[in-house]
């Protein structure tokens, strides 16, 4: 990784953290339409993987991958408007959290149904292969999500069709309150169905970037899908409403010492690549202004309730 890429990766990880911190405040003020989902401790698995792609590649994130959306050019302001359900947000108040896409930015909207994005992205990768385009598709899955049928169907299809698909497995300790040992035998990496598999320290952003770059190069060489498993830890509950009381405090402390952001800062310092001294306050102030603008944004008009929800407005039954 060169210095410019490292600086961008650092800024994206920090921007993810600052944006989520502000979202938490908005949640505590009762301003968000629902809970807030953190990726604390997992910023590297979202940002470093997405940053290893080219602009022509396509991603489909999950709830824990807000950072990958920022890498693709989504602004914190769009994220605030969405979480606040405002008319000028990406879905005009129809959806909340990070559930929105942006085809022009190569971003397929996250869906709640875990595993469902694997066959979707296998389909995207299939079109790249059929058209002979040098592009890859990437999506993410947690250890819990890997227990779904859709995960197996999608990954199996990608393997037998030799598709340019990267599935980033986030082995992060808990699925809601369920530890992996209660829903799988063995390790996440073993659920690869024959896909080329890489295992990496998910809290080492430089290592994640290198692994994702290698995965992309394999896909572009026509060597089929890659299952890139990142060993990491979910440092917050499933969402802000979950106080994570089922997680051992010492375990959390041991993972806090491996925080991906501070580790990456130490790595950059070792390289002699200093980060901007007042980067955090600058990002905080920019993000704060965006949150304020989102709070002042209009609500959707109730007359538009059915618009943008159905493909066509529902038929009005005569009563
Ligand atoms: C098919 C399906 N089953 C159940 C759920 C409800 N659900 C949402 S998140 C979650 C846990 C996900 O755990 P994991 O995949 O490990 O991801 P993490 O939250 O740890 O990042 C569950 C069961 C869902 N969204 N989709």
Residues with a CB atom less than 6 Å from ligand 1: 64, 112-115, 142-145, 148, 170, 172, 174-176, 234, 238
pLDDT beyond 70 at 95: yes
Mean pLDDT taken over the chain:
96
Cα 160 to ligand 1 centroid, rounded to whole Å: 26
Rounded to whole angstroms, the Cα distance separating 44 from 172 reads 12
The per-residue pLDDT for range 288-317, each reduced to its tens digit, is 999 999 999 999 999 998 888 877 766 666
Q: Mutation test of ligand 1: which of 34, 143, 144, 171 has the most ligand atoms closer than 8 Å to its C-beta?
A: 144
Q: Whose CA is nearest to atom 11 of ligand 1?
A: 175
CB 94 within 8 Å of CB 100: no
What pTM was computed for the model?
A: 0.96
Q: How far is CA 29 from the centre of its chain?
A: 25
The per-residue pLDDT for range 44-78, each reduced to its tens digit, is 999 999 999 999 999 999 999 999 999 999 999 99
The per-residue pLDDT for range 142-188, each reduced to its tens digit, is 999 999 999 999 999 999 999 999 999 999 999 999 999 999 999 99
Give the percent of the chain with pLDDT over 70. 98
The mean per-residue pLDDT over the stretch 119-130 comes to 98
Torsion of CA 62, 63, 64, 67, to 10 degrees: 80
Cα 286 to ligand 1 centroid, rounded to whole Å: 32
Cα 303 to ligand 1 centroid, rounded to whole Å: 34
Rounded to whole angstroms, the Cα distance separating 19 from 41 reads 14
Return the residue matching tokens 């920022």: 70
Domains, the chain, in order of start with CATH, read: 3-299 (3.40.50.970)
Listed in sequence order, the DSSP H helices in 29-161 are 43-51, 66-71, 76-83, 117-131, 149-160
Q: Whose CA is nearest to atom 17 of ligand 1?
A: 142
Please give the pLDDT value at position 260.
98
User: Catalytic site residues?
Assistant: 234, 238, 246
pLDDT beyond 70 at 319: no
The per-residue pLDDT for range 6-16, each reduced to its tens digit, is 999 999 999 99
Triad 110, 114, 116: Cα angle to 5°: 75
């Amino acid at each position: 990784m060169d210095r410019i890429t490292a600086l961008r990766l650092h800024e994206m990880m920090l921007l993810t953290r600052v944006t989520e911190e502000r979202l938490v405040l908005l949640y505590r003020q009762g301003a968000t339409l629902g809970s807030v989902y953190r990726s604390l401790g997992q910023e590297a698995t979202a940002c470093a993987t997405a940053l290893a792609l080219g602009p022509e590649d396509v991603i489909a994130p999950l709830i824990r991958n807000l950072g990958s959306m920022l890498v693709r050019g989504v602004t914190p302001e769009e994220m605030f408007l969405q979480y606040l359900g405002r008319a000028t947000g990406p879905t005009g108040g129809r959806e909340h959290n990070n559930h929105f896409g942006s085809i022009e930015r190569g971003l397929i909207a996250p869906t709640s149904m875990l595993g469902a994005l694997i066959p979707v992205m296998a389909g995207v990768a299939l079109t790249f292969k059929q058209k002979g385009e040098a592009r890859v598709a990437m999506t993410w899955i947690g250890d819990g999500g890997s227990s779904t049928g859709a995960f197996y169907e999608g990954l199996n299809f990608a393997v037998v069709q030799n598709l340019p698909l990267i599935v980033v497995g986030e082995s992060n300790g808990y699925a809601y309150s369920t530890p992996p040992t209660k829903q799988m035998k063995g390790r996440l990496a073993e659920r690869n169905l024959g896909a080329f598999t890489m295992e990496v320290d998910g809290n080492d952003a430089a290592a994640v970037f290198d692994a994702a770059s290698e995965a992309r190069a394999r896909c572009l060489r026509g060597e089929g899908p890659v299952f890139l498993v990142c060993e990491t830890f979910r440092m917050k509950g499933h969402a802000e409403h979950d106080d994570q009381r089922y997680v051992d405090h010492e375990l959390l402390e041991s993972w806090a010492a491996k925080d991906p952001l501070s580790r990456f800062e130490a790595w950059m310092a070792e390289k002699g690549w200093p980060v901007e001294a007042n980067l955090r306050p600058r990002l905080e102030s920019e993000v704060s202004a965006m949150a304020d603008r989102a709070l002042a944004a209009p609500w959707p008009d109730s007359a538009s309730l059915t618009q943008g929800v159905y493909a066509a407005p529902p038929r009005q039954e005569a009563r």
